[in-house]
Amino acid sequence: MIVPSSSLDQQRAQFTAQRLLAMPLAGTVAWAIVGVAGLTLSAVQMVWALYLSTGSIVYLGLFFSRFTGENFLNRTKPKNAFDTLFFSTVAMSLLVYAIAIPFFQADYTSLPLTVGILSGLMWLPLSWIIQHWVGIFHAVARTVLVLATWYAFPAHRFIAIPFLIVGLYVVTILILEYRWRAVRRENAVALSA
């Protein structure tokens, strides 16, 4: 239940003050598994690795959130409208598999392209929520670079695209960590004033 005395501005400030690393860490691990699978497995096994790995990002994020201070499963903290919005964007990313599956059936190598781009769209609303450019950077760079990589490396799509996404996640995680530290400093200054 959302605390009625908490305004949307207060809830946004509370959401923004979070580290926001659990889901990107989960995405990094999942896409790294897909890339390694691309190096070592057959086509059928690569497809299964992609579906299982990217489908488990939410669960990996729940696990990592216990260590990043976000703890998504903490039922004692007050509900936040922006938490709900964020998890709605995660659900949106899962629903886009309905677009990826028909294209996969026509050309299995389309899977890294479609899942790679469509699941990255959730970063745009995150940028709006936290009022920071990192989500726009991630979504736009991911879309442009995944598409370019799909065309540039047709024989290595299950390798090049996943490792590209891992690289983008690493950059994004560094930006998010820097952002979080800046927010903490600003909050500390505001409290001491």
| DSSP secondary structure string for all residues of 135-154 | HHHHHHHHHHHHHHHHHH-G
* CA R_g for the chain: 18
Residue 2 pLDDT: 47
CA-nearest of 168, 147, 150, 148 to 158 is 150
- Do residues 158 and 109 lie in contact, with contact meaning Cβ atoms separated by under 8 Å? yes
Chunked in runs of 10, what are the mean pLDDT values of the chain (193 residues)? Answer: 68 91 97 98 96 94 94 86 88 87 94 95 94 97 98 97 98 97 89 79
Residue 62 pLDDT: 93
Amino acid at 104: F
Residue 77 pLDDT: 83
What 3-state class would DSSP assign to 11?
Answer: helix
Residue 4 pLDDT: 52
pTM, to two decimals: 0.91
CA-nearest of 163, 139, 137 to 30 is 163
Where do runs of H (alpha helix) occur along the chain?
8-16, 22-40, 43-55, 57-68, 81-95, 97-106, 111-118, 123-130, 134-152, 157-192
